[in-house]
Structure 1
Amino acid sequence: MASAPVVDSVGADGAETVLARAVSELVRRTRFPVAFGGLERDQRIHVTSVVGARTRSLDGLVVEASRGLGGRALVEKRPRLTLDYGSSRSITHDYDRAVLGEGIATLFAVPVMVGARARGVIYCGSWNASPVGDVVARPAFAVAEELSTELRVRDEVERRVARIPLPSESGALSAGTREELRESYAELRSITAGIDDAALRGRLERLERRLAALSSPAPAAADEAGIRLSPRETDVLACAALGSTNAEIAAMLSIREGTVKSYLQSAMAKLDASTRHAAVATARRMGLLP
C-alpha cells in the first residue's frame, strides 16, 4: 500500500526555532558571552542563530564539512576547542573573516548528534582567551543533548506522518488503511505525551485531530453530545484501541498501570460504556478517535 503525502509537518522552521532556543541557553548556562549555531544541510552548517554578538559578521555563516572548527566537529562527531582561534594551526582558517571579525579568541564547538548523524553544531565563544573546563563543558553538552532529543522527536514524527495513508478519491478507507491510520494516530499521541515544547505539542495535536476526522463519519458528534475527553484519556483510549494491555499502555506512555486503569474508567464513564471495547467504538463513532 502506497503512503500518501504528508498530512502536516513539524519541519525545518520548527527545528530552527528549537536551535535558536538552544543557542540562547548556551549563553545563559555557560560563562561565554557569544553563542551561535546551525543545522546541517548538504554537508554544510548553516548558521541561523547568533546570541550575544557585538557585530553582524557571523550572520548567515555557512561552514563546509571539515573546514574550520565547526566543520571538523561535524565530521569528527566530537567537540572541538581552540583557545586562540587566530593562531590555531589545528584548523583551516576559511572563516577568519566571520570569527575574527566578531573578535572571538576562544571558540568551543559541540556537534549535535542524533543517532550516528551530526545534525548540526552549536558554538560558544569569548573575546578573550578563556579556559574551558567542566564548568563550561558540562552545560554545553547538556544543551546539545537537549537539542538532540528535540530533533530526534521531530525526525520520528516526520517519519510516522510520512507513512500515514489518506483516503482514495472516493473518500473510502480500506480496512488496511484504516488500521494503519489508527496505529499512526496512537503513535503520535504517545510521542506528543512526552513533549514539553508547547508549540510542537499544539502542532501535533492539530495533526491528530485531522487524522481522527479522516475516518469519522460524524466528526461533530462529540461536540453535539457535550463529550470532552482529557488529553490523557484520549492517549490511553487510542492505545487501548490497538488492543494494548494496561501494562503495555503504561510502558508506552511512561505512566503507572494503575493510572492507566483510572483514565480508562474515566473515559468509559464519559462515553457511557461498560467496557473498553465499547468505549473505543463510541469514541470512533463520535469522531474522538480514528
Structure 2
Amino acid sequence: MTSTIESVRDPQRLVAGAVAELARRTRFPVAFGGLLEDGRVAMTAFHGARTRALDGLAVQPERGLGGRAIAELRPRMAGDYRTAEQITHDYDRYILGEGIGTLLAVPVVVDGTARGVLYGGAWGRWSVGGVAAAPAVQVADALAAQLRALRSAPAEVDPPAPAAAIPAAQREQLRESYAELRRIAADVDDAALRARLEEVERRLASIAGEASAPVETDDGAPVHLSPREIDVLACAGLGATNAGIAAQLGLREATVKAYLGSAMSKLDAATRWAAVAKARRRGILP
C-alpha cells in the first residue's frame, strides 16, 4: 500500500484498503478496522470474517484491546483473547462470536493523536509476536500518512460519495461473489452461457456504485485488461497472495505475477492495491 492518497478522497475507502493490505501482509485470516469519530471507533471495513458477529462493533478508548491500543498509542496483542487479563472484555460478544482467539490491535496515529485502529485476528491461538506486528504497524503508519495527506489536500477533486453506500461487510461479500463468479466463468466452454455470466459480472460491478468514468488511465488513454488480468486483480483485491491467487485460478505463481504486473502497468499503478483501487474507481472491479 502506498503512502499517497492516489485520488481517493473517502477516508473509509482508505481504511478498507488498509484492512485488505494488513491481511495480505500479516497473513491474519481476519482483519477489520475503522476511524475514531464521536468518541468511538466504529468498524467499517472487514476482511475474511466467517460470520456477521463483528457487525456493529464500535470501540471506545481504553475499553477492550483496541481501546487500550488507542489510549496508549501503541500496538496491543492478546495471544489468548478469552483469558486475557490486561484488557476489559466489553466486546467479547463480537470477538468471541467470530471465534477469534488471537487478536492484534494497532492504532492509526496522525500527528500524535489516535485517528483509528486496525485489527488482525486468528481463530484459535497463534504465536505471532513481532512477525505480524511489524508489518501491521507499517500498514497503520501508511494509512496515517494517507489520512494526513487527505486532510491537507484540495477537497474539490472528487465528487462526494453516494448517500446510500453499500455497507462495508456487504461490499466485501459482493467482491468475493464477483471473484468466484469469474472463476466459474473461466471454466465454462459454452460461449452463450459465458456471455450471460459476463453480463451478471457487469451488473455486480455496477451495483458497487464506483463506475463513474470511462476506463482510462490517468493520462486519458483507454485501458484494456484481459480476462485473466481482471481475474488476478479481483483476487488481489480480496487480499490473496500470489500463491493464493495461483491456487484459486489454477495458474503458476509466476504467471500470476506476470498478469498482475501487466495490469499494474496498464493502469499506471505502482502497487497491486493501487491497481485494484484504480480498477474499482473505473468500474472494472466492484
How far apart, CA to CA, are the structure 2 residues paired with 1:138 and 1:85? Answer: 20
Q: Percent identity?
A: 53
2:61 aligned with 1:65: yes
| Structural mapping, 1:43-192, within 5 Å | 43-157=39-153
Residue 15 of structure 1 is matched in structure 2 by 11
TM-score, length of structure 1 as denominator length? 0.50
How far apart, CA to CA, are the structure 2 residues paired with 1:17 and 1:66? Answer: 26
| Residue 131 (structure 1) shift | 1.4
Counterpart amino acid of 1:150?
Q
**Which structure ranks higher in relative contact order (CA pairs < 8 Å, sequence separation ≥ 6)?**
2
Cα displacement string for residues 153-182 of structure 1 (whole angstroms, at most 9, x for unaligned residues): 011126x88xxxxxxxxxxxxxxxxxxxxx
How far apart, CA to CA, are the structure 1 residues paired with 2:62 and 2:137? Answer: 21
How many residue pairs match? The answer is 153
| Residue 28 (structure 1) shift | 0.8
Q: 2:36 aligns with which of 37, 40, 46?
A: 40
| Residue 134 (structure 1) shift | 2.8
Given that 1:50 and 1:59 are in contact with CA atoms closer than 8 Å, whether structure 2 keeps it comes out as: no
Residue 22 of structure 2 is matched in structure 1 by 26
How far apart, CA to CA, are the structure 2 residues paired with 1:137 and 1:116? Answer: 20
Counterpart amino acid of 2:89?
H
How far apart, CA to CA, are the structure 2 residues paired with 1:134 and 1:103? Answer: 23
Counterpart amino acid of 2:48?
G
Cα displacement string for residues 49-85 of structure 1 (whole angstroms, at most 9, x for unaligned residues): 1100100111121111110000111111111110111
Instruction: Mark the runs of 5 or more structure 1 residues left unpaired by the alignment.
Output: 1-9, 162-198, 203-290
Structure 1 consecutive aligned stretches of length 4 or more whose deviation exceeds 3 Å? none
In terms of Rg, which structure is larger?
A: 1
Instruction: Mark the runs of 5 or more structure 2 residues left unpaired by the alignment.
Output: 1-6, 157-209, 214-286
| Residue 42 (structure 1) shift | 1.8
| Residue 136 (structure 1) shift | 1.0
Given that 1:37 and 1:49 are in contact with CA atoms closer than 8 Å, whether structure 2 keeps it comes out as: yes
How far apart, CA to CA, are the structure 1 residues paired with 2:104 and 2:10? Answer: 25
| Residue 135 (structure 1) shift | 2.2
How far apart, CA to CA, are the structure 1 residues paired with 2:90 and 2:135? Answer: 28
Given that 1:107 and 1:125 are in contact with CA atoms closer than 8 Å, whether structure 2 keeps it comes out as: yes
SS of equivalent to 1:29: helix
| Residue 43 (structure 1) shift | 1.9
